[in-house]
């Protein structure tokens, strides 16, 4: 008798056989959902994240509506540095902004050793609420050292990362100290989330794709490797994600990930080659195809499922976050399509 | 007796032996130069482009200062659609903006057949002035159909191209008509520039890297191929450039380019593999490394030159445009470094 599959998501992360292809969406909890806009209010997102009942409700909304195979904590990658008092806010329509950006070694003092219970107690509290409520795994997450550093140094979202790279090239000792500190932040935050009930973790190095592979290897890989090693003993699947990372996919796996996220620019077969078939892959539908409506979504989703047929371990997702203009009914149909398309491993 | 090399730039484009590695910089004429800021004034860039004496002077400034091996016309990829009356402006600090974006087939009427002499007479006039003044080749240029279409449809610079892709997926007939029209614009503009004295052309598909390879092949390659075929008889080298195009490099070559531009994310050896060694390569120093100062520039430039040693045909350039905060003295030293590093083909 075939046992029921308690979590296709966790099984796919571990490259085990699954009863159907699991699916969730980055930014599945967010502005595209009317029920999100109804409860979110107009304050800073950081205020909403700091209210455990509200953050838990927002996390649950897409699970209820879509029947996705995993929830992802409603939070933000700057929450730990914000909680520790670095002075980060998230400006609506802009993103993370820092009034007094990171410039010198003295700024390291503004990043004291991170203590999740002390600096961001609301995060673990939200996770605890969710662990009781959810019937699917909860993904905890943290920002990778490079991407968090880029916000602290640039002071706002950047297109060219020239201040970040200037510090990286010109003051490698301070760079290493900063990334090492931020690795500790990520580890402590992830450990706290898993301790409170998260069943998997995703490390967002969203903007690492701005780096040439040699620079990634030299200046970023060590700190990211430390993050993955720092949560290895927890036994939960570890996902590593960024955009425009085509040339970095092998290195993202090498950092210690069990699952590597792939954006839509890279065919899944190519991503499998570059990661040496050693990891599960997550992705990689273009969010703009979903934004275009059901017809385009169906065509492109079937292409993704077809490309994934030969993979050992595939979690269906978008290549980046759900766009705010997305029609929720398209995502509902997409989940149904993914769940009912026969998975080749059966 | 060895003949002097009249243009290492043109020779490298044609994969002929060169006396030194040729070098020029995208956006070498621009805001990073004090002499540019002194003459540019505060009006729209489109007004400056429409003044041939001024546009020629701005084009010449970096040639005088840096001794680069090619000049690139001071213009913009939206100049033809602006000149034809579509209603495009370039907002300072923003980029191209369209008050009434392209939405339906009726908007095709706002793109009448392009006539360079009638719609943008100042462009050829600028080229004629430069052809008399310059001792190095002048690169003319045009926007590729996809990238120009993205501005007309989005109405402003975009991060996700959701409106563009929505039209592309949902109305493929209108999409093809629009891209075909824009291909005609590019061809007519490039032919006029070469007729007036440009010695090479670059087609900027700056944002094509937002597309998955399958989508690029299906929806974009035919129109871009038409552009390259439409100027093939002119006998001038044709360069094809975009950013985050790692997975598209083979297709950018397939469109008919003699030279493919490579951004810093892709090692030159990888780019050579993906283009099958059939084209010269241009690039690929990270502009942010130059922004970081001479020390980082020297290290990274030597890595580029070393990676290029095995290439048949290399034009040194940045992987994208010069950043406005760049110190001109760093670019001066960079040109000297490239010119004095012994080229392996000698």
- B41 — pLDDT class (breaks 50, 70, 90): confident
Q: How far apart are CA B52 and CA B75, in angstroms?
A: 10
Estimate the crossing angle of helix B221-230 against helix B145-154, to 10 degrees. Answer: 120
CB < 8 Å to B318, chain A:
none
Q: How far apart are CA B144 and CA B189, in angstroms?
A: 11
- Contact call for residues A72 and A202 (beta carbons, < 8 A): yes
Residue of B nearest to A169 (CA): B296
Interface contact A156, partner B, CB < 8 A: no
pLDDT, average across residues A58-84: 98
Instruction: Please judge whether B292 and A267 are an interchain contact, meaning their C-beta atoms are less than 8 angstroms apart.
Output: no
**Per-residue pLDDT, B346:** 44
* CA-wise closest residue to A205 among A176, A245, A155: A245
Interface contact A267, partner B, CB < 8 A: yes
Question: Cis (ω within 30 of 0) for the bond into A202?
Answer: no
Distance from CA of B127 to the nearest CA of A (A): 31
- A138 — pLDDT class (breaks 50, 70, 90): very high
- A338 — pLDDT class (breaks 50, 70, 90): very high
Interface contact B270, partner A, CB < 8 A: yes
pLDDT tens-digit readout, A222-256: 999 999 999 999 999 999 999 999 999 999 999 99
Nearest CB to B244; choose among A169, A265, A288: A265
* Residue ranges of E strands in A162-272: 200-204, 238-241, 259-262
pLDDT, average across residues A170-180: 98
- Please give the ipTM for the structure prediction: 0.95
Q: What share of chain A is helix, strand, coil (3-state, %, to 5)?
A: 50, 10, 35
- B134 — pLDDT class (breaks 50, 70, 90): very high
Instruction: Please judge whether A266 and B289 are an interchain contact, meaning their C-beta atoms are less than 8 angstroms apart.
Output: no
* Residue B34 half-sphere exposure toward CB, CA atoms < 13 A: 4
Instruction: Please judge whether B247 and A266 are an interchain contact, meaning their C-beta atoms are less than 8 angstroms apart.
Output: yes
**Per-residue pLDDT, A1:** 47
Q: How far apart are CA A284 and CA A277, in angstroms?
A: 16
What domains are defined for chain B?
8-340 (3.20.20.210)
* CA-wise closest residue to B162 among B93, B210, B106: B210
CB < 8 Å to B299, chain A:
169
pLDDT score of B2 more than 60: no
Q: What does pLDDT average to over chain B?
A: 96
Instruction: Please judge whether B265 and A287 are an interchain contact, meaning their C-beta atoms are less than 8 angstroms apart.
Output: no
pLDDT score of A339 more than 70: yes
* Number of Cβ pairs < 8 A linking chain A and chain B: 111
Query: How far from the centroid of its chain's Cα atoms is residue A1's Cα?
Result: 36
Measure Cα distances from A134 to A71, A139, A158 in Å: 8, 11, 36
**Per-residue pLDDT, A3:** 56
Measure Cα distances from A185 to A5, A49, A171, A296, B211 in Å: 34, 18, 21, 40, 35
Report residue B169: phi and psi, to 5°: -75, -40
Q: How far apart are CA A252 and CA A266, in angstroms?
A: 14
- A346 — pLDDT class (breaks 50, 70, 90): very low
**Per-residue pLDDT, B1:** 47
Residue positions of A annotated with a catalytic role = 27, 31, 40, 76, 151
Interface contact A292, partner B, CB < 8 A: yes
pLDDT score of A134 more than 50: yes
pLDDT score of A198 more than 80: yes
Residue of A nearest to B325 (CA): A162
3 state SS of B81: helix
Question: Cis (ω within 30 of 0) for the bond into A284?
Answer: yes
Average the pLDDT over each of A121-130, A220-229, B1-10 and give the range with the smallest value: B1-10
pLDDT tens-digit readout, B47-58: 999 999 999 999
Which of B150, B206, B212 is the mutation pick for testing A, counting most A CBs within 10 A? Answer: B212
Interface contact B165, partner A, CB < 8 A: yes
pLDDT score of A23 more than 90: yes
Instruction: Please judge whether B162 and A323 are an interchain contact, meaning their C-beta atoms are less than 8 angstroms apart.
Output: yes
Structure tokens at B50: 């429409």
Instruction: Please judge whether A170 and B293 are an interchain contact, meaning their C-beta atoms are less than 8 angstroms apart.
Output: yes
Q: What does pLDDT average to over chain A?
A: 96
Higher pLDDT, B3 or A286: A286
Nearest CB to A265; choose among B165, B247, B320: B247
Interface contact A246, partner B, CB < 8 A: yes
Q: How far apart are CA B47 and CA A169, in angstroms?
A: 39
pLDDT tens-digit readout, B177-220: 999 999 999 999 999 999 999 999 999 999 999 999 999 999 99
Structure tokens at B73: 């016309």
- Contact call for residues B163 and B92 (beta carbons, < 8 A): no
Higher pLDDT, A312 or B330: B330
Interface contact A238, partner B, CB < 8 A: no
Average the pLDDT over each of A273-277, B4-8, B129-133, B190-194 and give the range with the smallest value: B4-8
Interface contact B303, partner A, CB < 8 A: yes
pLDDT score of B75 more than 80: yes
- A42 — pLDDT class (breaks 50, 70, 90): confident
Interface contact B295, partner A, CB < 8 A: yes
**Per-residue pLDDT, B344:** 56
**Per-residue pLDDT, A322:** 98
Interface contact A234, partner B, CB < 8 A: no
CB < 8 Å to B211, chain A:
265
CB < 8 Å to A293, chain B:
166, 169-170
**Per-residue pLDDT, B43:** 85
**Per-residue pLDDT, A257:** 98
pLDDT score of A58 more than 80: yes
Interface contact B220, partner A, CB < 8 A: no
Instruction: Please judge whether A244 and B247 are an interchain contact, meaning their C-beta atoms are less than 8 angstroms apart.
Output: no
Measure Cα distances from A267 to A310, A315, B146 in Å: 12, 14, 21
Instruction: Please judge whether A292 and B169 are an interchain contact, meaning their C-beta atoms are less than 8 angstroms apart.
Output: yes
**Per-residue pLDDT, B343:** 61
Which of A95, A160, A171 is the mutation pick for testing B, counting most B CBs within 10 A? Answer: A160
**Per-residue pLDDT, A119:** 98
pLDDT tens-digit readout, B214-255: 999 999 999 999 999 999 999 999 999 999 999 999 999 999
pLDDT score of A4 more than 90: no
**Per-residue pLDDT, A93:** 85
Encode burial over B89-128: b for 16+ CB neighbours within 10 A, e otherwise: ebeeeeebbbeebbeeeebeeebeebebeebbebbbbbbe
CB atoms closer than 10 angstroms to residue A159? 11
- A41 — pLDDT class (breaks 50, 70, 90): confident
**Per-residue pLDDT, B342:** 78
pLDDT tens-digit readout, B293-329: 999 999 999 999 999 998 989 999 999 999 999 999 9
Residue of B nearest to A161 (CA): B288
Instruction: Please judge whether A296 and B325 are an interchain contact, meaning their C-beta atoms are less than 8 angstroms apart.
Output: no
**Per-residue pLDDT, A310:** 86
């Amino acid at each position: 008798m075939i046992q029921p599959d308690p979590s296709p998501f966790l099984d796919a992360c571990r490259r085990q056989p699954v009863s159907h292809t699991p699916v969730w969406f980055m930014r599945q909890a967010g502005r595209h959902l009317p029920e999100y806009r109804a409860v979110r209010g107009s304050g800073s997102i950081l205020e909403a994240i700091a209210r455990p009942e509200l953050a838990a409700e927002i996390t649950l909304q897409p699970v209820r509506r879509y029947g996705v195979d995993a929830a992802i904590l409603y939070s933000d990658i700057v929450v730990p540095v914000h909680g520790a008092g670095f002075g980060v806010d998230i400006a609506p329509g802009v993103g993370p902004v820092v009034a007094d950006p990171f410039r010198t070694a003295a700024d390291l003092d503004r990043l004291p050793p991170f203590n999740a219970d002390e600096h961001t107690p609301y995060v673990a509290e939200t996770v605890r609420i969710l662990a009781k409520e959810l019937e699917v795994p909860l993904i905890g997450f943290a920002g990778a050292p490079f991407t968090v550093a880029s916000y602290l140094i640039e002071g706002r979202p950047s297109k060219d990362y020239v201040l970040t790279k200037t510090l990286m090239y010109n003051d490698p000792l301070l760079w290493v100290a900063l990334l090492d500190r931020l690795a500790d932040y990520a580890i402590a935050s992830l450990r706290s989330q898993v301790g409170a009930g998260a069943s998997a973790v995703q490390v967002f190095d969203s903007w690492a794709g701005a780096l040439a592979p040699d620079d990634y290897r030299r200046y970023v890989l060590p700190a990211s490797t430390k993050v993955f090693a720092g949560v290895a003993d927890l036994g939960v699947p570890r996902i590593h994600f960024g955009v425009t990372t085509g040339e970095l996919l092998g290195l993202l796996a090498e950092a210690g990930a069990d699952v590597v996220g792939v954006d839509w620019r890279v065919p899944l077969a190519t991503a499998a080659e570059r990661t040496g078939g050693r990891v599960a892959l997550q992705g990689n539908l273009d969010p703009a195809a979903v934004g275009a409506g059901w017809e385009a979504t169906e065509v492109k989703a079937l292409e993704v499922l077809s490309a994934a047929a030969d993979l050992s371990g595939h979690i269906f997702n978008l290549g980046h976050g759900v766009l705010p203009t997305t029609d929720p009914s398209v995502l509902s149909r997409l989940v149904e399509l993914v769940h009912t398309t026969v998975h080749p491993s059966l």
